[in-house]
Structures are given as C-alpha cells and as structure tokens.
Structure 1
Amino acid sequence: MASKENRRITDVGTLKALAHPLRMKLYRLLFVAEAATASHLAEQVDEAVSLVSYHLRKLAEHGLVEEAEPRSADGRERWWQPSSDGVSIRDEDFQDAPEKVAAHLAASRMFLEQRAEMYRRYLDERAHWGPEWSEAAHDSELLLRLTAAELAQLKKDLHDLLKRYDEQGRAHEAAGDTEGREHVALHVYGFPFRV
C-alpha cells in the first residue's frame, strides 16, 4: 500500500465513486485480501471480469485503489490494492452545500445497508461457524447518557483499541500464526437520540 494512513474523503466525486454498491463491495474485498486481480474479485461478487475491471479503474481514478506488484508469474494479470489503510468520511466535510449533504446521506445509507447485509449473512450462517465462534461473536446495544465531548472521547478510545487489535492480529498472521484466524467485522455506531 502506498500509505499506511486512512484517507480522508472530502470531495463529492470520490464519495460517489466509493458509494456505488459494487465498488464498495470490491473495495472491502480488496482491503481484506490486501491485493487481488479483477478475476479473483469477479468470482467473489459473481460479476463479469470486464465489469469488475471497469469499477476498479473508477476507484483508481479517485485514488482509492492502485496497481499492486504482481503476485504470480502470469504477466497478463493486473493486480490491485487499496491505496491507503482505509478511508474516513466525516459529516463535517459535507455540510456546506445541499448536494454534498444529499451525497453524504445516500452514501451513509448504502454503507449501513451493506453492513446490515454482512450481519444478516452471518446470522444465517451462524450455526456453521461452531460453538467457539458463536460464543466469541456478539451483538449488544448500550444506551448511554453522554455529552458530545464524551462520545468523541469514546470514539477515539474505541478506535485506538481496535487499531491495537488489528495490528496485533496482522503481526501474528505475518509471523505465520494463521490457525483459527478469520476475518472479523466489527460495526460500531454511536449517535444521539431522543425518546
């Protein structure tokens, strides 16, 4: 990857490029795989290689993915990788014009739907993961009383904790400790509400 930092998306064009449902799936799969070809990704999303290649090029136009070093001897294969260690999209960057507000809202809803679909799929497959994973997996809802500053601190603390676990897991995997290691999605939402 070119950068180990999260890329902050601040323009509507890049947001719209990522907020396409197939492109977001490809980005997520590419992030998990670290590098892949359009052929590999096409198999996972059940789409034509030409369509996947088109969408990868669109993501590349906005600097979200880039070509990677080939991982096979086949020189015809074009490998792709994320161009950063993730992306961040902040509400504050899309509040100064109605079209930005609308684009941010549409993207946020699409991301939520894809995350919900990931969780629904897990629920449907939960019995096949076995008791160890069923015990480890969780969902919870906490209804807290916080100020905006306290919620911001909680967000930072959670981010720091999750980053530590991610770095630890990647280090173990790089050292060859892959036994029992799976991809894990953790979706956390913190938002105000009134009753």
Structure 2
Amino acid sequence: MHKSSCGSIVLDMTRDERPARPSPDPAHGVRTITDAKALSAMANPFRSRMMDALKVDGPSTASGLAARTGQAVGSASHHLKVLAEAGLVAEAPELAKDRRERWWRLVDPGTRWSRADFASDTAAVTAAYAAEALTVQRQFERVQEWNGNAATVPDWDDAAFATQHWLRLSPDELRVVAEEVVDVLLRWSRREVPDDGVERESVFVFARGFPAQP
C-alpha cells in the first residue's frame, strides 16, 4: 500500500456544496484525503507552491501568494477558489482589515493519502498518481536548487545533510521505520520556536522508503 504524506502541503466554504472534509489522523492531526477532488486540486504546481507558502509563512492574501509564487493575482485567486472548494484552504476573516481584504489559511497542517483508498475509482487513482508525481518533482527540484546555491551560504552548507541506507525489512518493519521517522519530524515541526535572537530559516526535509534493488 503506497501512502503519501505532505506537511503542507502535508496538506490545510459552503459546507452543503463542497466535499466532506478529509478524515483526521488522531495520532498526528494530519488528515487522510479520501476524495478525488482534493487530490486533483493538489496536483497543480502553482497550487502546491501556494499550500507550501501557507504552511511556511502562515495566512496570506491572494496578492501575497501571487508575489510568492510568481503569478498574476487573478490566477492566484482562481487557484485559491479551487483549493477552498476541495476543503484544503479556508478564509481567515479575522485577519482582514476591511470587507474587501480576504486572507486565506490552510485547513490542516498536513495531508496524506493512499492509492489503495481509490482502487475502485480510476479517475481518483489517476489524480493520486498525478499528485504524487508532482510531490516527487518538487522534492528533487528543491534539492537541485539547494545544490546550486549551497556554496553561497557556508554555514548552512555545513549543517545540511543527506543520507541513504539499504535495509532488510518486512512490510511491517518498514511501517515501524516510517512511524519513527515521521514522529521525529513532527516533534520538530510542532515545537515552540525559541525567541532567543537566533536567526532561523525554513528547512525542507523529506524521506522515502520503498522496496528496490541496487
């Protein structure tokens, strides 16, 4: 069973017209996506980047997200509407200075999905593969961007890491490894960042484990 998880994206309305909210994961507060509409909404590079920006920087307006992702404000507004209809973002009216200003936030701190949940729905399986392909593409684009810039920030270059291992595992043991890795990352992502004057940046960490041959 293949599962994908995004901390974003992990992935945060008129209730009677929009799809049911994804199911929450009681252990981590991460929602399991169970409808194809949400997967299709995430399988778009601009919308994926917008969700990442909301995760890293917090609530924003369409104009703020447009500037962050290099698109027109009208395009950003359209993508926000798609994400809202899929139950992935919601308005944050408490942040608006007037009635014309619209702020948006993620509904959930992270999302996950399993292709097995959509086995009987061909369109949903296609959407799941598209969302996963985009996730992988973005992960390795970030690696390439970092490799191109690492030499300009020597302190971060020294701190950054990459690791890979060949393990001999059963499916159940791989599930345990996954839970342990996710628990470590969740602990760091949920910590209260100290107000100690130390300069911090957003740091991207991703991990994958799957059967393979040398």
TM-score by length of 1: 0.89
Matched-pair identity in %:
33
Q: Note the C-alpha offset of 1:20.
A: 1.3
- From 47, 54, 61, the equivalent of 1:37 is 61
Establish whether residue 94 from structure 1 lines up as the match of residue 118 from structure 2: yes
Q: Do the aligned residues in 2 keep the contact of 1:70 with 1:77 (CA within 8 Å)?
A: no
Establish whether residue 142 from structure 1 lines up as the match of residue 165 from structure 2: yes
- From 176, 181, 202, the equivalent of 1:158 is 181
Change (3 A) 1:110 1:178: farther
Instruction: Provide the alpha-carbon RMSD of the alignment.
Output: 2.1
Distance 1:182 1:51 in 2: 28
Q: Note the C-alpha offset of 1:178.
A: 5.5
Distance 1:193 1:178 in 2: 44
Aligned counterpart, 1:21: 45
Aligned counterpart, 1:194: 213
Q: Note the C-alpha offset of 1:81.
A: 0.3
Aligned counterpart, 1:64: 88
Aligned counterpart, 1:172: 193
Establish whether residue 46 from structure 1 lines up as the match of residue 70 from structure 2: yes
Aligned counterpart, 2:7: none
Q: Do the aligned residues in 2 keep the contact of 1:70 with 1:78 (CA within 8 Å)?
A: no
Change (3 A) 1:116 1:177: same
Aligned counterpart, 1:185: 204
Q: How many residues are matched?
A: 190
Q: Do the aligned residues in 2 keep the contact of 1:38 with 1:53 (CA within 8 Å)?
A: yes
Aligned counterpart, 1:105: 129
Segments of 5+ residues of structure 1 without an aligned counterpart are none
Distance 2:208 2:38 in 1: 23
What one-letter code is carried by the residue in structure 1 that aligns with 2:205?
Answer: L
Change (3 A) 1:73 1:100: closer
Aligned counterpart, 1:115: 139
- From 8, 24, 31, the equivalent of 1:7 is 31
Which structure 1 residue ranges, 4+ long, deviate > 4 Å from structure 2? none
Q: Note the C-alpha offset of 1:9.
A: 0.7
What one-letter code is carried by the residue in structure 1 that aligns with 2:193?
Answer: H
Q: Note the C-alpha offset of 1:91.
A: 2.6
Change (3 A) 1:192 1:68: same
* Deviation per residue, 1:24-80 (Å, 9 max, x gap): 111111111121111111111111101101100110011100011444635432110
What one-letter code is carried by the residue in structure 2 that aligns with 1:190?
Answer: G
Distance 1:129 1:101 in 2: 41
Segments of 5+ residues of structure 2 without an aligned counterpart are 1-11, 13-23
Distance 2:37 2:150 in 1: 38
Q: Do the aligned residues in 2 keep the contact of 1:172 with 1:178 (CA within 8 Å)?
A: no
Distance 2:42 2:149 in 1: 28
Q: Do the aligned residues in 1 keep the contact of 2:96 with 2:102 (CA within 8 Å)?
A: no
Change (3 A) 1:35 1:194: same
